[in-house]
């Protein structure tokens, strides 16, 4: 046979190569089909359990959480009086019901009672000095009147003697005229002395009046202090003793409440009587969440001490300025934005100062098709799920929407009731083989 007859229509080995490619593609397709439909069956006689969950329809929400404390919307604050360094001697018990007029705080009055007695004594002393000074002035005035009268008489007598100059010698006349001048000079000196005495006496009385007025003002001030040393409840309510921010405490812990024996300061807030008919949650919103919240958003309030109830609130105030929280040396300071949410209803168990978590509702989409975040797997850069088919699982591409911390919205590829795996079945099978 000639070589022409043996010459194939295709290059040598091409036919075999084409068959190989076909076989290869068949193997790949079978592998994909097997991997997509039955990525796991049974590697042993014992079945492999893959955790699954049903695709559900429900409300999809995006929220942020922030910690805070329960406070009364309206509270009456009882503050230390405008008295230097008041010391607490009596303090009512925190958390107890008090009645209007009941004594809440008493401060030490011993020092100011001594001050008051001293000022009373000083006032009486000044009154005695005024009486004595006026008596002395009266004597001086009488002496001055006598001196003035005597000087005026001497002037008149000297003038009378001088009028005899026509019948006396020239020498005697000159002498009499000199005596007139001396008498007039003496009269002027007496008048000057009288005026000086009047001015001095007036100054003495004004000085004593000033002392008396100052003493009376001091008495009135101390009496006012004494009247403020007892603070009574202006209304009925539950008493809440406030923290003493100047007390020594452990680093990072809330300062202890005021107690008997503590020295307060002018205007220090000692206690409060909250109105329990309206309460609010005071929040500290993280800096990264500040731009997500808006006034009027709904807030779910979970109170640590009341586990069996969830409260509804409305966000009604957000601080425009961040608050800097010092976290200690060597740590970065934390910025938070104070905010408030007013509770729509109250509970008799609510008390100011209770710790709570506020969950602010940012966005809500009802009747959304939802799967857990960990039920979505990336394959070739696209989201897929492992959907259960009988005893196996099939990979299926899905289209997703928004997600939150727990769930993903499924836009296409699934229906409510489908069961999807929470783990890759192949990975579960591999782990089972190693056991």
14: pLDDT confidence band, cut at 50, 70 and 90?
A: very low
- DSSP run (H or E) holding 358: strand 355-372
Task: pLDDT band for 414, please (50, 70, 90 cuts).
Answer: very high
Backbone φ and ψ for 35, nearest 5 degrees, come out as -70, -35
pLDDT at 15 over 50: no
Q: What tokens were used for 113?
A: 């009672």
Q: Reduce the DSSP state of residue 159 to 3 states and report it.
A: helix
* 202 in Cβ contact with 178 (< 8 Å): no
Query: Residue 20 pLDDT > 60, yes or no?
Result: no
- If phi > 0 it is left, if psi is from -120 to 50 it is alpha, else beta; for residue 227 that is alpha
Question: Could you report the per-residue pLDDT of 213-247, keeping only the tens digit for each?
Answer: 888 888 888 888 888 889 999 988 889 898 898 87
pLDDT band at 13 (very low <50, low <70, confident <90, very high): very low
**Over the stretch 253-284, which tens digit does the pLDDT of each residue have?**
678 899 999 999 988 999 999 888 899 999 99
pLDDT at 396: 94
Three-state DSSP at 275 gives: coil
Please list, in sequence order, all residues whose beta carbon lies within 8 angstroms of the beta carbon of residue 415, skipping any fewer than 6 positions away: 55, 369
Higher per-residue pLDDT: 424 or 159? 424
Residue 11's pLDDT is what?
33
In 3D space, the residue among 65, 61, 70 whose CA is nearest the CA of residue 289 turns out to be 65
- Amino acid 130: pLDDT: 83
Residue 3 has pLDDT above 50, yes or no: no
Place of tokens 């202006």: 234
Average pLDDT of the segment spanning 316-334: 77
pLDDT of residue 416: 93
Distance, in Å, from the CA atom of 107 to the CA atom of 86, rounded to the nearest integer, reads 6
Confidence band of 66 (pLDDT split at 50, 70, 90): very high
3-state secondary structure of 387: strand
Q: Quick check: 108 and 114 in contact, CB under 8 A?
A: no
d(CA 358, CA 78): 29
Q: What is the structure's pLDDT at 119?
A: 85
Which of the 8 DSSP states describes residue 321? S
Burial 108-133 (b: 16+ CB within 10 A, else e): bbeebeebbeebeebbeebeeebeee
Residue 87 CA to residue 270 CA, distance in Å, equals: 12
∠ CA 60-62-68, rounded to 5°:
130
Determine contact, residues 248/259, Cβ cutoff 8 Å.
no
């Amino acid at each position: 046979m000639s070589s022409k007859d043996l010459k194939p229509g295709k290059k040598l080995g091409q036919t075999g190569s084409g068959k190989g490619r076909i076989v290869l593609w068949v193997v790949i397709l079978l592998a994909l089909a097997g991997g997509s439909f039955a990525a796991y069956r049974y590697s042993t006689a014992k079945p492999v359990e893959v955790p699954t969950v049903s695709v559900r329809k429900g409300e999809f929400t995006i929220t942020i959480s922030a910690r805070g404390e329960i406070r009364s919307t309206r509270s009456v604050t009882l503050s230390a009086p405008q008295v230097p360094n008041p010391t607490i001697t009596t303090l009512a018990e925190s958390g107890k019901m008090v009645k209007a007029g009941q004594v809440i705080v008493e401060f030490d009055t011993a020092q100011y009672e001594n001050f008051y007695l001293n000022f009373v004594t000083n006032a009486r002393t000044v009154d005695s000095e005024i009486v004595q000074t006026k008596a002395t002035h009266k004597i001086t005035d009488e002496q001055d009147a006598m001196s003035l009268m005597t000087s005026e008489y001497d002037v008149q007598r000297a003038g009378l003697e001088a009028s005899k100059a026509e019948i006396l010698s020239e020498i005697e006349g000159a002498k009499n005229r000199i005596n007139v001048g001396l008498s007039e000079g003496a009269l002027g000196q007496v008048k000057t002395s009288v005026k000086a005495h009047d001015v001095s006496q007036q100054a003495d009385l004004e000085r004593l009046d000033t002392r008396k007025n100052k003493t009376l003002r001091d008495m009135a001030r101390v009496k006012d202090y004494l009247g403020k040393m007892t603070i009574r409840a202006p209304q009925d309510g539950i008493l809440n003793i406030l923290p003493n921010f100047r007390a020594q405490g452990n680093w990072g812990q809330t300062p202890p409440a005021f107690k008997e024996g503590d020295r307060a300061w002018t205007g220090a807030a000692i206690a409060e009587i909250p109105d329990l008919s309206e309460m609010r949650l005071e929040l500290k919103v993280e800096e990264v969440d500040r731009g997500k919240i808006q006034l009027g958003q709904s807030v779910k309030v979970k109170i640590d001490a009341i586990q069996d109830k969830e409260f509804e609130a409305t966000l009604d105030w957000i601080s425009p300025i961040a608050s800097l929280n010092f976290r200690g040396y060597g740590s970065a300071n934390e910025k938070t934005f104070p905010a408030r949410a007013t509770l729509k209803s109250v509970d008799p168990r609510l008390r100011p100062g209770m710790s709570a978590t506020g969950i602010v509702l940012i966005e809500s989409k009802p009747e959304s098709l939802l799967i857990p975040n960990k039920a979505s797997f990336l394959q070739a850069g696209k989201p897929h799920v492992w959907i259960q088919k009988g005893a196996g699982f099939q990979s299926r591409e899905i289209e997703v929407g928004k997600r939150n911390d727990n769930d993903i919205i499924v836009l296409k590829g699934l229906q409510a009731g489908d069961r999807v795996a929470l783990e890759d079945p192949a990975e579960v099978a591999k782990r089972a083989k190693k056991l």
